[in-house]
Structure 1
């Protein structure tokens, strides 16, 4: 199995691969449930909770500064892919347009298809985070979260919500889908924060 789908990193790559991870030979697709098929014509992105409510269209997002990003990607199921090339919009650029109340401490990511995942505001607003709409120079395919996904490179990939369509700003932690089902609340790869203390096999 390791030889067919995954490989061990060389010494230089190994410094970038968290413990317990192997390098994927391709870019695996893991999805719980059906893959939403969302057209950009009907796509919208909502902001609510402890923030001034707002709705952004696809055109609104494309009007923001666009950047190319290269980031490593670490899945909780023990595979990693290095140097993934994306195009998108910085989280910080979107946040400049959102009026958030000072007591905000957490963010719930909402997605087409009903998926949710939670993240602290500190983890969310890091400079390296972005909303991606291209992968390796092509429109982001639905199986990888298109038309748009969040990418949070410093956490396991379930925090990089696919098909994202909204942010709910909170003053206390609420758990998203996988967090309610036993995954770690934060998910930091270098600390192997895969599962919560009550998770059992």
Structure 2
């Protein structure tokens, strides 16, 4: 019994080390977004990459399904204070997407463009391990969690993992997205508690 209790305590300690400051662990997956859930039409949906790239590209839904697939397991940290450990996502790795578009050397930021004009900005160095996810835990994303495509940026607060992704724009200069214009931090690193713009 003592050995079992010690194992539980060790697992709890390991989990606590994975929690950024101000976060609380949850097993649930809260649904948070601004505005309604968009409807998906595979016949008209497309995904575009533009801006500071050598070749701008556009994929239909059918074409997007043919891109290489990657699965990652990451911890999720929401700016509202909850964290969920060991979430598993499948989709197109950002690094694989780069070989189709070839960003120019001056591209230092990415703006994610989503349904209803929602945007969020991300520094390029935080996109290195990002994923354009179509599946969560082996199943297609639910509409509330971003179906058919959402960005997953593992090292930043989860608002940067924008739902209902439609385009990525490569930029030389940073500019605020939707929530950043409303006062959220321009970068959003949870380990630095970069929640709001006054922390910038």
TM-score by length of 2: 0.89
Name the CA distance, whole Å, in 2 between partners of 1:27 and 1:158.
14
RMSD between superposed Cα atoms in Å: 1.6
Aligned twin of 1:6? none
Name the CA distance, whole Å, in 2 between partners of 1:10 and 1:102.
44
Contact kept? 1:156, 1:187, Cα under 8 Å: yes
Higher helix share: 2
Matched, 1:53 2:43: no
Shift of 1:15: 0.9
Once the two structures are superposed, the pairs formed by residues 1-201 of structure 1 within 5 Å of their partners are 10-51=12-53, 52-124=55-127, 126=128, 128-197=129-198
Shift of 1:60: 2.4
Name the CA distance, whole Å, in 1 between partners of 2:173 and 2:74.
29
C-alpha distance after superposition, 1:90-131 (max 9, x if no partner): 11001110132221111110001211000112222x1x2111
Shift of 1:80: 0.6
If you compute each CA radius of gyration, which structure gives the higher value, 1 or 2?
2
- Which contiguous aligned blocks of 4+ residues in structure 1 show a shift greater than 2 angstroms? 39-42
Contact kept? 1:39, 1:147, Cα under 8 Å: no
Name the SS of the counterpart of 2:148 in structure 1: coil
Contact kept? 2:185, 2:199, Cα under 8 Å: no
Aligned twin of 2:8? none
Contact kept? 2:57, 2:100, Cα under 8 Å: no
Contact kept? 2:20, 2:190, Cα under 8 Å: yes
Contact kept? 2:113, 2:119, Cα under 8 Å: yes
Shift of 1:198: 7.6
Q: How many residues align?
A: 189
Please, which runs of 5 or more residues in structure 1 have no aligned partner? 1-8
Please, which runs of 5 or more residues in structure 2 have no aligned partner? 1-10
Name the SS of the counterpart of 1:10 in structure 2: helix
